[in-house]
Structure 1
Amino acid sequence: MALAGELNDALTRNDAKAAEKLFSYDAAFEDVMLPTTVQGPPAIGRYVQPPSNSTRTAGSRALSRSGTAAC
C-alpha cells in the first residue's frame, strides 16, 4: 500500500514527474473511466500531467487526458 499512497500523493500535488518515477520501464497505466491504457513511464507522466495554460495556448502538440495527441 505504500506505493499506492506515494502515487496518490504525487497525483494530488500534480507532480507528474514524481508519479512517473514510481513506474517500472514496462508499466501500463489503465484509466478504466475512459477506457485507456498508457504504456511506459514517460507516457504515463504525460498522461497524468494536468494541462497548463501555456500548453493550451502555445499551439504545440500535447498529450490530452484521453491519451491521444492533441494540437
Structure 2
Amino acid sequence: MTTTTPSGLQYEDTVLGTGAIAKAGQRVKVHYTGWLYNNDVQGAKFDSSKDRGQPFQFSLGAGEVIRGWD
C-alpha cells in the first residue's frame, strides 16, 4: 500500500520490521528507490540504494535527510 503525505511525498513499506520503533537520535538503515512522477504517472527512476546493494544510513531527527524521512 502506498501512503501519500500532505506534502505529496509517497512511500511504501515493502518489508515491515518487527523490532522497536526507531526514535530521534538513533542511526537507521533504509533501502529506497526514488521515482519521478508527472500527473500520477511513474517516470524515471533517479536513485536507488537497492541498485547499489547498500542501505542508506542516517541519524533520525537530525535534519540529514528530506523532511519526509526525518
TM-score normalised to structure 2 length: 0.27
More helix by share: 1
The structure that has the greater radius of gyration is: 2
- When you count strand as a share of all residues, which structure comes out higher? 2
